[in-house]
């Protein structure tokens, strides 16, 4: 695996490979890699000649400084995992390389409703930061296809939208959420759960799956209330939101009679100081 920390080295290497007619599959990450990330890389390898990953803890997408400081950084371990998965190229820049001047204000993208609901509402500026860094990474790596987990469903919708409105020539490939045996969605933040919290968090996925079964005989507000009570009666969990949204526009669905199909149920739960998100198709 080639490892680069500068934009120039990365671009030179990848432009040469593209000139040879090779296709590039890209998996952008913030490191602290788990099985979910590796599954994205495996898919990228299957569908492209060259697999590229990036590791960059992007400061502009953290609206909370403390969250940025404590985000897990495990670069040595990540490199071993990427090598074991036969990743061809890793781009791991520092903050200076990606943001050489703090004086320049990055251009904002009008995300409309996509940036206003759920995570967009609770984490102001988060998706602008994601768009800024993903656009920069696409400009550097020039991927044919880029792979994103459905676990961050709103991020996936935002990136698909950005690529469409900015005419970026990359195909966005959504990949299914990877789960632990007890249903917990894999996330780099799971390492922060203490043993008691870890024992209780599978209730998040379990509740959503049960809500899916109740989709037949309740109104949406009854279903939302049911989920809220179910989550909040566990002393380790506090519901931030449970929403049913249109899978493309993420428009909140509030006034339709159940059952509904072709939508997404999305949840955010506070577990101590940690926030976990998850979603399922309805
Ligand atoms: O999902 C992530 O890990 C990050 O938001 C991403 C897409 C790598 C951008 O920093």
Nearest residue by C-alpha to atom 1 in ligand 1:
29
Q: Give the CATH architecture of domain 2-175.
A: 3-Layer(aba) Sandwich (3.40)
Ligand 1 contact via 130 beta carbon (within 6 Å):
yes
- Give distance in angstroms: CA of 222 to centre of ligand 1: 34
Ligand 1 contact via 30 beta carbon (within 6 Å):
yes
* Predicted local distance difference test score (pLDDT) of residue 263: 93
* Predicted local distance difference test score (pLDDT) of residue 72: 95
Q: Which atom of ligand 1 is nearest to the CA of 58?
A: 10
- Give distance in angstroms: CA of 139 to centre of ligand 1: 15
Strand partners, 54: 28, 91
Ligand 1 contact via 133 beta carbon (within 6 Å):
yes
* Predicted local distance difference test score (pLDDT) of residue 216: 78
* Predicted local distance difference test score (pLDDT) of residue 180: 97
Ligand 1 contact via 28 beta carbon (within 6 Å):
yes
The Cα 212–Cα 48 span in angstroms is: 36
Torsion of CA 73, 26, 133, 281, to 10 degrees: -90
Torsion of CA 137, 143, 145, 151, to 10 degrees: -20
Ligand 1 contact via 134 beta carbon (within 6 Å):
yes
* Predicted local distance difference test score (pLDDT) of residue 37: 98
- Give distance in angstroms: CA of 72 to centre of ligand 1: 13
Nearest residue by C-alpha to atom 8 in ligand 1:
29
Nearest residue by C-alpha to atom 5 in ligand 1:
130
Determine whether domain 188-281 maps to CATH 1.25.40.10: no
- The structural domains of the chain, with segments of one domain joined by +, span 2-175, 188-281
* Predicted local distance difference test score (pLDDT) of residue 250: 96
Ligand 1 contact via 58 beta carbon (within 6 Å):
yes
- Give distance in angstroms: CA of 131 to centre of ligand 1: 9
* Predicted local distance difference test score (pLDDT) of residue 103: 72
| Residues known to be catalytic | 37
- The yes-or-no answer to whether 2-175 and 188-281 have a common fold is no
* Predicted local distance difference test score (pLDDT) of residue 133: 98
* Predicted local distance difference test score (pLDDT) of residue 184: 98
Q: Tens of pLDDT along the chain (282 residues)?
A: 999 999 999 999 999 999 999 999 999 999 999 999 999 999 999 999 999 999 999 999 998 999 999 999 999 999 999 999 999 999 999 999 999 987 778 889 999 999 999 999 999 999 999 999 999 999 999 999 999 999 999 999 999 999 999 999 999 999 999 999 999 999 999 999 999 999 999 999 999 999 998 877 788 899 999 999 999 999 999 999 999 999 999 999 987 767 777 899 999 999 999 999 999 998
* Predicted local distance difference test score (pLDDT) of residue 256: 72
Ligand 1 contact via 132 beta carbon (within 6 Å):
no
- Give distance in angstroms: CA of 202 to centre of ligand 1: 24
What one-character-per-residue DSSP string does the chain give?
-EEE-SHHHHHHHHHHHHHTT--EEEEEE-S---HHHHHHHHHHHHHSSEEEEEE---GGG-SSHHHHHHS---HHHHHHHHHHTT-SEEE---HHHH---SSSPPPP---GGGGTSHHHHHSTTHHHHHHHHHHHHHHHH--SEEEEETTSHHHHHHHHHHHHHTT---EEEEEPPPB-TTSPBP-GGGGG--HHHHHHTHHHHHHHHHHHHHTTSSBHHHHHHHHHHHHHTSTTEEEEEEEEEETTT-PBP-SPBSP--SEEEEEEEEETTEEEEEEEE-
């Amino acid at each position: 695996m080639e490892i680069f920390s500068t934009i120039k080295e990365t671009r030179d290497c990848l432009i040469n490979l593209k000139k040879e007619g090779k296709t590039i599959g890209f998996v952008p990450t913030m490191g602290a890699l788990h099985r979910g990330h590796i599954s994205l890389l495996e898919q990228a390898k299957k569908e492209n000649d060259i697999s590229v990953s990036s590791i960059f803890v992007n400061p502009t997408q953290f609206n909370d400084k403390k969250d940025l400081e404590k985000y897990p950084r495990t670069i040595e371990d990540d490199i071993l995992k990427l090598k074991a998965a036969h990743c061809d190229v890793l781009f791991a820049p520092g903050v200076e390389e990606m943001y050489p001047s703090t004086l320049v204000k990055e251009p904002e993208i009008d995300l409309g409703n996509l940036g206003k609901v759920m995570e967009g509402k609770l984490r102001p500026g988060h998706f602008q930061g994601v768009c800024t860094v993903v656009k920069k990474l696409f400009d550097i790596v020039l991927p044919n296809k880029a792979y994103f987990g459905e676990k961050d469903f709103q991020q996936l919708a935002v990136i698909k939208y950005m690529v469409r409105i900015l005419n970026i020539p990359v195909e966005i490939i959504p990949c299914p959420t990877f789960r632990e045996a007890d249903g917990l969605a894999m996330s780099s933040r799971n390492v922060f759960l203490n043993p008691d919290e870890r024992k209780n968090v599978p209730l998040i996925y379990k509740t959503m799956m049960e809500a899916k079964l109740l989709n037949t005989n309740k109104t949406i507000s009854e279903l939302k209330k049911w989920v809220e009570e179910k989550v909040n009666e566990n002393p380790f969990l506090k519901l931030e939101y449970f929403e049913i949204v249109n899978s493309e526009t993420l428009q909140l669905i509030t006034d339709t009679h159940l059952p509904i199909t072709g939508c997404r149920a999305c949840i955010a739960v506070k577990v101590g100081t940690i926030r976990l998100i998850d979603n399922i198709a309805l």
